[in-house]
Amino acid sequence: MEVRLALTADYANVSQEGKLNVMGIFSRILSQQYPATHPLMHLVLVFTAEANEKGQTKDVRIRLVDGDGKAMMDLNGQFPVPDSPGPTVELQQIFALQMLQFPQPGQYEFQILVDGKMRSTLPLELATPAPPLGL
């Protein structure tokens, strides 16, 4: 199983027709103060599985790490790969992450592992806004 799409957004859902709807994609968060708490973000992942993986259950782990590689969040779960028609299967997953706290500005990263193997990374930058320009 591979990660075809990974992004952070203000909001995301999957429609009744199976369409992925995403609003407010971002990779940078600005904050005047640290530690900074982000009230709500959606981590959107689209996995693809090959025909030989249908019917299997995959162990998925999502970690958020700081610039030093220290884990700040660790989610684990099992995802069944449905036996649907076609050569590949697409699995859309949306994680609502509430009240994530970032201790300081810098580079952070979501790491997506499937069956213990790193499949994708998604960078996230925390920064302090530039002061306004004087007149």
Q: Convert the pLDDT of each residue in 84-106 to its tens digit.
A: 888 999 999 999 999 999 999 99
Q: What is the per-residue pLDDT across 27-48, written as a single tens digit (0 to 9) for each? A: 999 999 999 999 999 999 999 9
Specify whether the CB–CB gap between 46 and 4 falls below 8 A: yes
CA triple 111-50-12, angle to 5 deg: 50
Residue ranges of domains in the chain, CATH in brackets: 2-127 (2.60.40.2550)
Residue 120 burial (C-beta neighbours within 10 Å; 0-12, 13-18, 19+): middle
